[in-house]
Structure 1
Amino acid sequence: MSQSDADILLEAKARLHDQAGRLNDWTGLSSHCNWTAITCHPVSHAVLSIDLTNMGISGPFPSGFCRVSSLVTLKLGWNSINGTVSTTDLAPCHRLHQLDLVSNLLVGPLPEFVPDFTSLLELDLSQNNFSGPIPPSFGRFPVLQILNLYSNFLSGTVPGFLGGLTELTELRLALNPFDRGPLPLEIGNLTNLEFLWLAYANLAGRIPASIGNLARLKHLDLSNNFIEGPIPESIGGLRSVELIVLYANRISGELPQSLGNLTTLRQFDASENGLTGELPETFAGLHLEFVGLNDNFLSGEIPALMATNPNLVNLKIFNNSFSGEIPQYLGRYSDIEEIDVSKNMFSGGIPPDLCIRGSLRRLVAFRNRFTGDLPASLGDCDGLYYVRIQDNEVSGEVPERIWGLAKMYHLELSNNKFHGPMASSISTAWNLTKLLISGNNFSGEIPQEICHLKDLTMFDAGMNRFSGNLPPCIVGLSKLEQLDLQGNMLTGQIPVGSWKDLTELNLSMNDFSGEIPSQLGNLPVLTYLDLSSNRLTGEIPGDLANLKLNIFNLSGNDLTGKIPAGFDSSLYIPSLVGNPNLCSDSNSHLGLFPKCPLITVKNKLNFRCARVALYTALGLGLVLLAGLFWFRRFRSARTGKFKRGPSWKSTSFQRIGLDEAEIFECLTVENIIGSGGSGQVYRVVLKSGQTVAVKQLWTGPRGPETEREFRAEVETLGMVRHGNIVKLLFCCSAEGFKGLVYEYMANGSLREALHCEKGSLPLDWNRRVGIAVGAAQGLAYLHHDCVPAIVHRDVKPSNILLDAEFRAHVGDFGLARALHKEGGDCVTTQVAGSCGYIAPEYAYTLKINEKSDVYSFGVVLLELVTGRRAVDPSFGENKDIVKWVTDEIASRDGGNDLDFRYLMDPRLQASSGEYEEMVRVLRVGLLCTNYLPMNRPSMRMVVDLLRGHRDVSFFLSDCQK
């Protein structure tokens, strides 16, 4: 290469911004072939390739590089190249074989390519902000093999002229807001195609029969579109296919028999459709890694050859309307790892050979009509860790070996016809976190071996026939969150453990006796307490009034004595009926409970003393009331701020004795504990001694926005109840004032604790993990348990609050939105959220769903591991923590088998075990912040990953399902 070509490179480089100094060796002091990113011919020394991938380069598209006449490869991906790319800019590049601009900041229409581009083999413009239709010149590349345009903002329909790219092996157009239109017939002309990705592309109409011409196709993904009609019989022509993904469409009709001919198929996903008819035996044996036929409208049989193919690994056909029996030899000829046939109308027995080859990991078959026994062979399935077969008619005893599977962490058998005992072999199910077996006919005693399940969080065995006493050792299951044993024949006294995470305790409709333990009032997050319909005696412990209960029921027992003041109101009367020996101090309850006697004869002397004390207290009270009256009158006259009247609107969500007057008087400067974009927060100690936090929202110019945030906060927190969601106690509003009263969080926010903003010591790793799991549980509740689902939209450390025990509570719901359409998006008019936490697709499309929160939470996880803030000047220009972490890992060969300690918070002195956990949390954070929403896990899955119930690397391979 001549010196003038070196000058060309230096001139083009001068137009770029190389903040990291990666190209500092581009000088005349060394040979250009030794420069970073330059590859030369070994003999002629002509420049063949310029590869600036992930170099931190910014600036306009450097067309000057293409003036190097020998250049055949130009790779500029994963940088910050910005601006537009015009036809003129590209013209000098017509000799290129490969042009890679993936993941930059390019905008405007796709450029037209001049006819001189006859040698281009690879063109990657994906993950930019290009808009408008695909230009016709994109159909005229004579030798192009790879065309990637996914994740842009392209419009128009998928053009038929792309069928002219007959040498194409890879076509990726997914994640573009194309106009709704069909997959063109010309797609069948691409007979060399091996990879076709058109998910989230607004495809409509039918799959063209010409798809069967793609005999070399290995990967077909048409998921998340509006495709309808049947799958064409011609699909059997995909003789090389390994993956077919058709989930979340409107496909209807029968599955073609020709699917049975696809002996190379490893993944088949037509999930979330409307398939009906019986499952053909030919379907049950393909060498599949993933099969899903969900939420479409397909019908008929699945081809029989699919039952005998030796490659079947994962079968997923949930959310359809299949009927009939599943082929009984399913799994006999293939290494099935996962089967999900839930939400269909299957009948008959569960195939007995699902784990005959020892590979089964997940069995999901709930909401069908399965009958017969649970196959005993599942007990030999040492790797089985997830079973959900609730809502069927499966009967018989659960085989003893299934109770004791060591890797099982979720076992759900509810609402079947099982009978017999719970086997003592359950002692070896050490990883079990959820045991849900309600609505069966299980009998006998609950074995004490259940106490070996130290990670158990949910135990629901209600509506069975269990008898005897509860094992005393159950009080040692410290991680329990839900204990539901209603509707059994259990006897003895009610046990109480150190259940710091217990939110639900339901022991109703049993034969428990004795007194209600007062220790129940000390359970910190209990919100659901039902002890009704037992034989409990004694008085109602006053300590129960300490609980912040949403469900409370002690009815139908033999309780006696005075109803505690905290429960002596019309709100709780239905929860106490059926206890004829209770009495009340309230005159309004005389029809239900007798009035408690004021005094007994033997206590006359005490009565006289009490009467003197009472009169004294009343006198002092009158003096205090008079003083308070004059104080308020004087203060109101001086400030003009408060005047109670009919314009005040207030709502109480919890049982607290306060009104707006008491709140308002405490909103003073000395009580301010925080201030943010929505208002100021005050620490208020009520007259009752309870400490609360009061947020006074800003008013004035932000009036409409304040009203929206106030309404969102009240509507959201008014209906949600979870131990990891901050509790809204009270709200009030008047002209010029809006206030929200919450439970007080003694340790402030995660931001303050993590970054030591108030002089505190750094959080240790155990607390960081606990906070991460708690916040994830709160978000999972919003996403999966609320109807409709709720998206927070502003997940960040300052909105994760910490109580006195450093338990996490998600707060600040002023930006929250409900997703009223199941699985749908919410379209907003402007970007809301905080810099560094906003998911990339939200910033561009203004569409939010649960995956937007997942991204933000992933950023929080990266902060917890690294100790860095989401946005830090040390990261460099145009970088946030996600970009910084990924760049650091990429610079060390992609992070395979690396020591990640260089990324960890230096304030942490982690043990080897803690370090492994930190690596896991780091990887979960990276998984959550994946650029593509479809590749992020759900928050429910995040909880499992953080707890170590699922392997992160395993989930990475499963993340698109």
Structure 2
Amino acid sequence: MPSVFGFWSNLSMLDFSDNMLSGSVPPELGKLENLQILRISSNRLTGSIPSELGYCTKMIKLDLSKNYLSGSIPSEISSSVEMQGLFLQDNKLNGLIPDAFSSLEGLFELQLGNNMLEGPIPCSLSKLHHFNSLLNLSHNKLSGEIPSCLGNLDKLEILDLSSNSFSGEIPSQLNNMISLSFVNVSFNHLSGKLPAAWMKLMASTPVSFLGNPELCVLGNDASYCREARNIHIRGWKLVGMVIGVVFSVALLCAAIYILMIRGLRKQFSSQQSLLHESKSRTEDLPEDLKFEDIMRATEGWSDKYVIGKGKHGTVYRTESVNSRKHWAVKKVDLSEESFEIEMRTMNLIRHRNVVRMAGYCIKDGYGFIVTEYMPGGSLFDVLHRSKPHVVLNWNARYRIALGIAQGLSYLHHDCEPQIIHRDVKSDNILMDSELEPKIGDFGMAKLVCDSDTSSTRSAIVGTLGYIAPENGYSLQLTEKCDLYSYGVVLLELLCRKLPVDPCFEEGLDIVTWTRKNLQEDNEWFCFLDKEISFWDGDEQFKALKLLDLALECTEFAADIRPSMRDVVASLTKLNDKYHRSVINS
């Protein structure tokens, strides 16, 4: 990285992120007294963080993440009293967390995860009264007890202390962290009871408390917990009463739900009787396809014609009697909301990387959606089911990655209203005969209207392994949940592993498994698809850049993830014939 920029004294922002820069961070950058934003993330920088950066007293955001920086964090950085965001995650930093961070009074977000930091959490962090976004200390070697002073961070929304060596009980003072919407303390050595205010957080994301055998959570029968139950028997009686009340309320809700479903069925039945009066309102099929043809071609919906099954219906292969053209027909129970959602959504869409709806039919309490037939099956089939094994070279994987990105970018940025898919996964990516991908299954999709601020509010939706972290603690979702799912699909494409693969250690998914391999300095060919090791150096280099992009898309914090439009731009740049390099062997 050239040091000459240190002499351009009027610079207020420098952004070298997502390149192949090597060497060290030039200490000359400390001469930029007017520098407010410095981004050098996602490069190959080594060496230590220069203490001279402390001279940049107007610094608002410093991002050195995703490099190979080592050594300790210089306390001089705290001289930048206007600092709002400090991003040092995904490096090899060691030593203690500086006690001097207390002077960063305007700090909103601190990311120190995935390093090798040691020692306790300094209480000085609790003096950051404007700290209201994210404190990430995960995947380090921090130890000792979680300090009770963290309870002073009453504005903090996200706390991640996972994968460290913290021990002892979680202090009751952490009940004062009233703004917390997500906490992760998994894989430590914690014991005792959870703070009362954390029980709701535990119920929404129980995986965030795994890996602490002595921690008293639901279902844990550790000896400590048994003793606690004996000592606090009255408290447990109270818990029993609460559970009884909750159970009763659940029964009542279930009864109401059943009545609502029956009402919906009656409503749909009533609609059917009205709709049958006019065939034009219940059937709009392609010219050469009739409902009788569908019934005949599928032998009355025989299982041998099933080409896909999902949460929202079963998909059959059928054909026109005259033209012998193949179609896919999705059969959906009209008592399910997904039929209306899918009809409304697919009527809006016209894109080469999104499955095209050719027609529909409503009959006998079912809705039938006719789409183009995709002979290549799904991406899941190509990666995991096909026998013999489908060989995928760089061009094939790149075309798949780009096609999915272009389809999602169209949904997010070019549709009015905006469409959030909410169930992006390899099973919902369909392939034509040329392995060109098309996004399908819009049964969970959301149409986002500017006037409807609640349009993205919903219960947790999606498929295990693809669900973005914020789905566990926020009902207000954005298109960034699709970004996370897309990143998981990219990792599937590169590693040829399932999102939750049997070969992973307990508690890991493909995102955490990949990051763990990178953190442990495992060579890329140890965890990427073995086919990639036979590619030429240029293609291997591009595969690693695609891996970097997948990790960006699966960032824990949604606002850090790129937009789908940015992803398409990055992929286009990646395969530029002039953008060539040879991978280090």
Interval of TM-score (by shorter of Structure 1 and Structure 2) = 0.5 to 0.7
Q: In structure 2, which of residues 523, 534, 544 is the aligned counterpart of residue 919 of structure 1?
A: 544
Amino acid at match of 2:545: R
Tell me how far apart the structure 2 counterparts of residues 773 and 651 of structure 1 sit (CA, whole Å).
Answer: 35
SS class of match (1:741): strand
Matched, 1:102 2:160: yes
Deviation (angstroms), 1:873: 2.7
Judged with a 3 Å threshold, the aligned counterparts in structure 2 of structure 1 residues 866 and 784 are, in CA distance, closer, same or farther, namely same
Deviation (angstroms), 1:930: 1.0
What does 1:358-437 align with in structure 2 at a 5 Å threshold?
none
Q: In structure 1, which of residues 724, 730, 736 is the aligned counterpart of residue 365 of structure 2?
A: 736
SS class of match (2:531): coil
Which residue does the alignment assign to 1:849? Answer: 478
Judged with a 3 Å threshold, the aligned counterparts in structure 2 of structure 1 residues 822 and 916 are, in CA distance, closer, same or farther, namely farther
Q: Deviations over 1:244-283 (max 9, x none)?
A: xxxxxxxxxxxxxxxxxxxxxxxxxxxxxxxxxxxxxxxx
Judged with a 3 Å threshold, the aligned counterparts in structure 2 of structure 1 residues 825 and 764 are, in CA distance, closer, same or farther, namely farther
Tell me how far apart the structure 2 counterparts of residues 825 and 934 of structure 1 sit (CA, whole Å).
Answer: 19
Which residue does the alignment assign to 2:315? Answer: 681
Q: In structure 2, which of residues 518, 522, 525 is the aligned counterpart of residue 901 of structure 1?
A: 525
Q: In structure 2, which of residues 384, 392, 399 is the aligned counterpart of residue 763 of structure 1?
A: 392
Amino acid at match of 2:527: L
Tell me how far apart the structure 1 counterparts of residues 437 and 342 of structure 2 sit (CA, whole Å).
Answer: 18
Matched, 1:813 2:442: yes
Amino acid at match of 1:713: E
Q: Unaligned stretches of 5+ in structure 1? A: 1-36, 41-51, 57-64, 95-99, 115-122, 131-151, 154-643, 893-897, 952-961
The 8 Å contact of residues 788 and 822 in structure 1, kept in 2 or not, is answered as: no
Q: In structure 2, which of residues 551, 565, 570 is the aligned counterpart of residue 940 of structure 1?
A: 565
Amino acid at match of 1:922: L
Amino acid at match of 2:427: S
Deviation (angstroms), 1:841: 0.9
The 8 Å contact of residues 794 and 853 in structure 1, kept in 2 or not, is answered as: yes
CA RMSD of aligned residues (A): 4.4
Deviation (angstroms), 1:72: 12
Judged with a 3 Å threshold, the aligned counterparts in structure 2 of structure 1 residues 910 and 825 are, in CA distance, closer, same or farther, namely farther
Which residue does the alignment assign to 1:652? Answer: 284
The 8 Å contact of residues 756 and 762 in structure 1, kept in 2 or not, is answered as: no
The 8 Å contact of residues 149 and 173 in structure 2, kept in 1 or not, is answered as: no
Q: Deviations over 1:131-165 (max 9, x none)?
A: xxxxxxxxxxxxxxxxxxxxx99xxxxxxxxxxxx
Tell me how far apart the structure 1 counterparts of residues 319 and 556 of structure 2 sit (CA, whole Å).
Answer: 45
What does 1:73-152 align with in structure 2 at a 5 Å threshold?
77-78=137-138, 102-104=160-162, 111-112=172-173, 128-129=182-183
Tell me how far apart the structure 2 counterparts of residues 72 and 939 of structure 1 sit (CA, whole Å).
Answer: 39
Q: Deviations over 1:490-530 (max 9, x none)?
A: xxxxxxxxxxxxxxxxxxxxxxxxxxxxxxxxxxxxxxxxx
SS class of match (2:503): helix
Q: Deviations over 1:544-579 (max 9, x none)?
A: xxxxxxxxxxxxxxxxxxxxxxxxxxxxxxxxxxxx
The 8 Å contact of residues 783 and 791 in structure 1, kept in 2 or not, is answered as: yes
Amino acid at match of 1:650: T
Tell me how far apart the structure 1 counterparts of residues 446 and 136 of structure 2 sit (CA, whole Å).
Answer: 38
Deviation (angstroms), 1:738: 1.9
Deviation (angstroms), 1:795: 0.4
The 8 Å contact of residues 731 and 741 in structure 1, kept in 2 or not, is answered as: yes
Judged with a 3 Å threshold, the aligned counterparts in structure 2 of structure 1 residues 883 and 693 are, in CA distance, closer, same or farther, namely same
Q: In structure 2, which of residues 399, 410, 418 is the aligned counterpart of residue 781 of structure 1?
A: 410
Amino acid at match of 2:138: W
SS class of match (2:567): helix
Tell me how far apart the structure 1 counterparts of residues 402 and 149 of structure 2 sit (CA, whole Å).
Answer: 54
Deviation (angstroms), 1:916: 1.1
The 8 Å contact of residues 148 and 171 in structure 2, kept in 1 or not, is answered as: no
Deviation (angstroms), 1:645: 5.8
TM (norm. structure 2) is 0.52
Tell me how far apart the structure 2 counterparts of residues 39 and 928 of structure 1 sit (CA, whole Å).
Answer: 29
Q: In structure 2, which of residues 399, 424, 442 is the aligned counterpart of residue 795 of structure 1?
A: 424
SS class of match (1:772): helix
Matched, 1:663 2:309: no
SS class of match (1:740): strand
SS class of match (2:472): helix
Deviation (angstroms), 1:77: 3.6
Which residue does the alignment assign to 1:929? Answer: 554
Tell me how far apart the structure 2 counterparts of residues 846 and 80 of structure 1 sit (CA, whole Å).
Answer: 30
Judged with a 3 Å threshold, the aligned counterparts in structure 2 of structure 1 residues 111 and 682 are, in CA distance, closer, same or farther, namely same
Amino acid at match of 1:720: I
Q: Unaligned stretches of 5+ in structure 2? A: 1-92, 97-111, 126-134, 152-157, 185-199, 202-274, 577-585
Judged with a 3 Å threshold, the aligned counterparts in structure 2 of structure 1 residues 913 and 657 are, in CA distance, closer, same or farther, namely same
Judged with a 3 Å threshold, the aligned counterparts in structure 2 of structure 1 residues 748 and 102 are, in CA distance, closer, same or farther, namely same
SS class of match (2:404): helix
The 8 Å contact of residues 417 and 448 in structure 2, kept in 1 or not, is answered as: yes
Judged with a 3 Å threshold, the aligned counterparts in structure 2 of structure 1 residues 948 and 656 are, in CA distance, closer, same or farther, namely farther
What does 1:403-802 align with in structure 2 at a 5 Å threshold?
646=277, 649-652=281-284, 655-665=286-296, 666=298, 667-687=301-321, 688-697=323-332, 699=333, 704=335, 706=336, 708-802=337-431
Deviation (angstroms), 1:53: 7.4
What percentage of residue pairs aligned between the two structures are identical?
A: 33
Which residue does the alignment assign to 1:868? Answer: 497
Tell me how far apart the structure 1 counterparts of residues 306 and 148 of structure 2 sit (CA, whole Å).
Answer: 63
Judged with a 3 Å threshold, the aligned counterparts in structure 2 of structure 1 residues 765 and 742 are, in CA distance, closer, same or farther, namely same
What does 1:297-316 align with in structure 2 at a 5 Å threshold?
none
Amino acid at match of 1:821: D
Judged with a 3 Å threshold, the aligned counterparts in structure 2 of structure 1 residues 742 and 826 are, in CA distance, closer, same or farther, namely same
Tell me how far apart the structure 1 counterparts of residues 295 and 140 of structure 2 sit (CA, whole Å).
Answer: 51
The 8 Å contact of residues 780 and 940 in structure 1, kept in 2 or not, is answered as: yes
Deviation (angstroms), 1:828: 3.0
SS class of match (1:680): strand
Tell me how far apart the structure 2 counterparts of residues 113 and 675 of structure 1 sit (CA, whole Å).
Answer: 45
Judged with a 3 Å threshold, the aligned counterparts in structure 2 of structure 1 residues 93 and 668 are, in CA distance, closer, same or farther, namely closer
Q: Deviations over 1:422-461 (max 9, x none)?
A: xxxxxxxxxxxxxxxxxxxxxxxxxxxxxxxxxxxxxxxx
The 8 Å contact of residues 458 and 476 in structure 2, kept in 1 or not, is answered as: no
Judged with a 3 Å threshold, the aligned counterparts in structure 2 of structure 1 residues 777 and 823 are, in CA distance, closer, same or farther, namely farther
The 8 Å contact of residues 293 and 319 in structure 2, kept in 1 or not, is answered as: no
The 8 Å contact of residues 826 and 849 in structure 1, kept in 2 or not, is answered as: no
Q: Which has the higher contact order (CA 8 A, sep 6+)?
A: 2
Amino acid at match of 1:783: H
Judged with a 3 Å threshold, the aligned counterparts in structure 2 of structure 1 residues 788 and 38 are, in CA distance, closer, same or farther, namely closer
Judged with a 3 Å threshold, the aligned counterparts in structure 2 of structure 1 residues 858 and 912 are, in CA distance, closer, same or farther, namely same
Amino acid at match of 2:572: R
Tell me how far apart the structure 2 counterparts of residues 852 and 113 of structure 1 sit (CA, whole Å).
Answer: 29
Which residue does the alignment assign to 1:276? Answer: none
Tell me how far apart the structure 2 counterparts of residues 772 and 678 of structure 1 sit (CA, whole Å).
Answer: 25
Amino acid at match of 2:305: N
Amino acid at match of 2:573: G
Amino acid at match of 1:943: V
Deviation (angstroms), 1:757: 3.5
Judged with a 3 Å threshold, the aligned counterparts in structure 2 of structure 1 residues 889 and 784 are, in CA distance, closer, same or farther, namely same
Tell me how far apart the structure 1 counterparts of residues 490 and 393 of structure 2 sit (CA, whole Å).
Answer: 14
The 8 Å contact of residues 103 and 128 in structure 1, kept in 2 or not, is answered as: no
Structure number with higher helix proportion: 2
Which residue does the alignment assign to 2:468? Answer: 839
Tell me how far apart the structure 2 counterparts of residues 736 and 823 of structure 1 sit (CA, whole Å).
Answer: 31
SS class of match (1:755): helix
Amino acid at match of 1:78: S
Judged with a 3 Å threshold, the aligned counterparts in structure 2 of structure 1 residues 671 and 77 are, in CA distance, closer, same or farther, namely same
Tell me how far apart the structure 1 counterparts of residues 477 and 136 of structure 2 sit (CA, whole Å).
Answer: 30
Judged with a 3 Å threshold, the aligned counterparts in structure 2 of structure 1 residues 39 and 846 are, in CA distance, closer, same or farther, namely closer
